[in-house]
Structure 1
């Protein structure tokens, strides 16, 4: 059986969060860059499927391929870390400063990766800027304007809406990250993480990293959007909503539902044995 029980899963989540907070700046930037570019590529694949079939669910079924690649390759997706690193902070496996540093540098990597892919993809579908007839050109422009100006025209209600959609989105995305840990086999991980990712994409929720590609790509192709529109009416509120959804609904609530005194005692005992072993090893080294 390759199924990982929830109590074991919680320990894995905490350990993973601590590991992410301990990465070097170079690792966070490079892994964030690759994750952003891969997710952007999966987004255009999903949009292509939707354009060809006129069925939105088709794109949602395909989109998780990017998420699968990111998780299996051990890359950094900040929206997933929104659920994991806070648990490591709670358990004192990571510091608040380490958590914020991870978020900052990984987001910087995402922006770079998404921008590079947006430029390369834009040149591809416009035939080096000479042909704007490709259906994805207008689709990207329309979607990017909907994701910014659509909320802007609603005012305060629009701001509330975008945050709520971001919360719902990352509740599902972080469940994908966690469910990938419920299996020890590659096939099991893929199936487990596919389900919640399909769920979020099919319902049009707001994902910060996807938007780091879609909105700049739309702007490059001619969308009537300013930098202020992008960041004020989408990127910043979506990041806030994604953090709340991942940290609260997946991270903290799962932690509270499966955290037990038995698990804490077992973990403390295990750490104690590790410390004793290290001390014994050091004593042996000194005697030699």
Structure 2
């Protein structure tokens, strides 16, 4: 069977986190660059579908194509390394330190941003014929998204900031679930199916993904969005990054690690109950 049980895929999560820490700076940035670019293209694709069909659900259903492609090619998103790399630190893998973890996060952030920004420029060019005409409906929608998800939050003050943070938490709860779900199968079809479901959920629900936003907001600025770079950083990107970190690590990485890699042991089993228990593999 292609299914991998939890103790095994949690071990794979820890190994993956360790491997990312020791990857060269060059490889880390290139892989992150490509991940940001592919996810940005998928976001542009989903927005185009939504605008042209008027059906947001259809855009969300098709958006995960980008995530599945980048994952299968071994590229890295900031949201994924937020969840995987700390597990190698918790597991006390040799050579994994707080400094090396922060190095990985920083390099992936830079790569993701550069990749997403590259696609933002390309999309802006294609929607305006090299900035010689006004943006079409898709371009106008990109500008509106940037405004509503920065100034829109700011209008609510602290409540808006809290909402933004929680949406960031919920986003990476789902996105990291997609990353982990791909490790539950050894077949390409199994990986794609398990990744597709949580990614579709996060996109349709309008949760905040730091890397997707690295495309949406720069492109929105270039296409006439009514917000500033400071609005983008303060009222979206920074709180979203923090929310993504908390969501992926607290609700996915740590829960799986604590219950499948470093379990709390068994509750006292009544005498004789072993005869009726279903055999299970020991935790790694």
TM-score by length of 1: 0.89
Measured after TM superposition, the shift of residue 114 of structure 1 is 1.1
Higher helix share: 1
State the number of aligned residues.
266
Measured after TM superposition, the shift of residue 260 of structure 1 is 4.7
Where do 4+ consecutive residues of structure 1 move more than 2 Å?
Answer: 259-262
Gap runs ≥5 in structure 2 = 266-281
Aligned with residue 219 of structure 2, among 217, 221, 224: 217
2:164 is the counterpart of 1:168: no
Partner of 2:37: 37
In the alignment, the residues of structure 1 paired with residue 139 and residue 221 of structure 2 have an alpha-carbon distance, to the nearest angstrom, of: 11
CA deviations over 1:182-208 (Å, ceiling 9, x no partner): 000111100111010001001000000
Gap runs ≥5 in structure 1 = 268-288
Partner of 1:276: none
The alpha-carbon distance between structure 1 residues 254 and 226, as it changes in their structure 2 partners (threshold 3 A), is same
Partner of 1:106: 108
In the alignment, the residues of structure 1 paired with residue 181 and residue 53 of structure 2 have an alpha-carbon distance, to the nearest angstrom, of: 30
For residues 64-143 of structure 1, the aligned pairs below 5 Å read 64-93=64-93, 94-143=96-145
For residues 1-288 of structure 1, the aligned pairs below 5 Å read 1-93=1-93, 94-260=96-262
In the alignment, the residues of structure 2 paired with residue 103 and residue 81 of structure 1 have an alpha-carbon distance, to the nearest angstrom, of: 7
In the alignment, the residues of structure 2 paired with residue 51 and residue 150 of structure 1 have an alpha-carbon distance, to the nearest angstrom, of: 20
In the alignment, the residues of structure 2 paired with residue 140 and residue 198 of structure 1 have an alpha-carbon distance, to the nearest angstrom, of: 19
User: RMSD between aligned alpha carbons?
Assistant: 1.5
In the alignment, the residues of structure 1 paired with residue 97 and residue 3 of structure 2 have an alpha-carbon distance, to the nearest angstrom, of: 31
Partner of 1:273: none
- Indicate the larger mover: 127-136 or 187-196: 127-136
In the alignment, the residues of structure 2 paired with residue 222 and residue 145 of structure 1 have an alpha-carbon distance, to the nearest angstrom, of: 10
Cα pair 2:140 2:224 within 8 Å, conserved? no
Cα pair 2:21 2:85 within 8 Å, conserved? yes
What SS class does the counterpart of residue 234 from structure 1 fall into?
Answer: helix
TM-score by length of 2: 0.91
Measured after TM superposition, the shift of residue 131 of structure 1 is 2.2
Measured after TM superposition, the shift of residue 259 of structure 1 is 2.6
Cα pair 2:10 2:257 within 8 Å, conserved? yes
What SS class does the counterpart of residue 128 from structure 1 fall into?
Answer: coil
In the alignment, the residues of structure 1 paired with residue 262 and residue 31 of structure 2 have an alpha-carbon distance, to the nearest angstrom, of: 34
Measured after TM superposition, the shift of residue 266 of structure 1 is 7.8
